[in-house]
Amino acid sequence: MEQTHSDRPAEQRHVPVLLDTSVQLLAPALQDAGAVHVDATLGMGGHAAAVLHAAPRAHLVGIDRDPQALALARERLDREGVGERATLVHATYDQIPEVLEDLGLPGAHGVMMDLGLSSFQIDTADRGFSYAVDAPLDMRMDTSSDGPTAADLLRDLPEAEIARILRDLGDERFAKRIARRVVQQRESAPLTRSGELVALLERAIPAASKASGGHPAKRTFQALRIAVNEELEILASALESALDCVHVGGRIVVESYHSGEDRLVKTAFTRRIRSSAPPGLPVELEEHKPTFSPLVRGALQADEHERGSNSRAASVRLRALTRTRPAERAH
């Protein structure tokens, strides 16, 4: 088994993806006194610390559903001398409106979402996120919640639903075959540990397919993590809430690592940068004009150097918008 780095400071355990790019995109909107930056997926605070250094008059509202990550981020921000400009909140990122309201803030000038799994969560062996370390099959990002674990899903869901999760959330070609093996296995003893699941996947996936595409367990573990934490359902709501809270001139940057995530981001962003005027309308009314414009063309990817030095960067897609006009209020 590989050694983890859970005893290291946050800045040595997690290398933020596309860090310079995201800071360059966000910082111009955060230079005025009182500017509010919402990092909705705070993690260990890598992106947030860099933004606070680049925007010395901004205040951070850092949100994360993982209490352990929040504690590590607090230590990091304090160590880097920016902690006094940070308010950290235990919540999911679809609760941005409630968090801002509780703090008496009308909106945000910058919003960052770095989706997916952090190095901290992979390194925390007893959480079951990693296929490299044998641990209980938990995979909850918030272990204080009473939601189902990955072991619960594999024990209780019908075979067809397990296959759907693996196919839709993990792009797993052998989803049906794996789901069948899971159901056969649980008739005698349900899967409760990550090592047991890895062994089942080794048996279920054809040898020819193991030669390429990375570890054979990667897609299944990703799919289960997304399902356990309801990541796509929360993301769809969170994107709308985040876009609604951005002030005119403010900016939003989202990094996604999975085709389902990026599809939701692209759909939500496209809706805001296109006119809502009905087809054939001779004049575009003010209320139909787009409320955002793109800051980058399509989705940015990491360059070859970053992909080579940071494994998380291999699949990243970064999209960014700036708000150009307020939304029209309903009369």
Q: Over the Cα atoms of the chain, what is R_g? A: 21
Q: Which CATH number fits domain 144-228: 3.40.50.300, 1.10.287.130, 3.40.50.1100, 1.10.150.170?
A: 1.10.150.170
Q: Is 93 annotated as a binding residue?
A: yes
CA distance 140 to 153: 12
Q: Is 331 annotated as a binding residue?
A: no
Q: Which CATH number fits domain 10-120+231-323: 3.40.50.300, 3.40.50.150, 1.10.3720.10, 3.40.50.2000?
A: 3.40.50.150
Q: Is 32 annotated as a binding residue?
A: no
What's the pTM?
Answer: 0.87
Residues of the chain short of pLDDT 70, as ranges, are 1-14, 117-126, 210-213, 276-277, 280-288, 328-331
The DSSP code for 328 is: P
CA distance 227 to 229: 5
Domain ranges of the chain: 10-120+231-323, 144-228
Q: Is 152 annotated as a binding residue?
A: no
Helix axes 19-26, 46-54, angle to 10 degrees: 40
Q: Is 298 annotated as a binding residue?
A: no
User: Which pLDDT tens digit goes with each residue over 5-41?
Assistant: 444 554 455 679 999 999 999 999 999 999 999 999 9
